[in-house]
Amino acid sequence: DTEVTQTPKHLVMGMTNKKSLKCEQHMGHRAMYWYKQKAKKPPELMFVYSYEKLSINESVPSRFSPECPNSSLLNLHLHALQPEDSALYLCASSQGILSLPPGEQYFGPGTRLTVT
């Protein structure tokens, strides 16, 4: 199984809503990532979890709150977002970082988020 799944596929939310994006992988990968991708732009790294601990936070606003409940799951909690936060949010996983060869990342299909 080399699949990364993400739910929901599409999400429309108001600026006062609270919602969560979910990501799951069962490849035994110990590193998981959140990216934000605007149209016609490359993915921008937001967060990296290694062994369920947050290891990289690319100065992302606090209205985005990541959570890694276990080695297979990664959540992104959203609160008080702005219209400019509308984008495709991609989750990825890889074998590891730091002491292990990072290996290639496997990407999920993404969640298309629209903030109204």
Select the span of 16-24, 60-68, 72-80, 106-114 touching other proteins (CB under 8 A). 106-114
Q: Which residue number, 81 or 97, has a Cβ lying nearer to other proteins?
A: 97
Residue 11: CB minimum distance to other proteins, A:
15
Q: Which residue number, 4 or 115, has a Cβ lying nearer to other proteins?
A: 4
Please name the amino acid found at residue 7: T
In sequence order, the 6+-apart residues with CB closer than 8 A to the CB of 39 are: 87
Residue 56: CB minimum distance to other proteins, A:
7
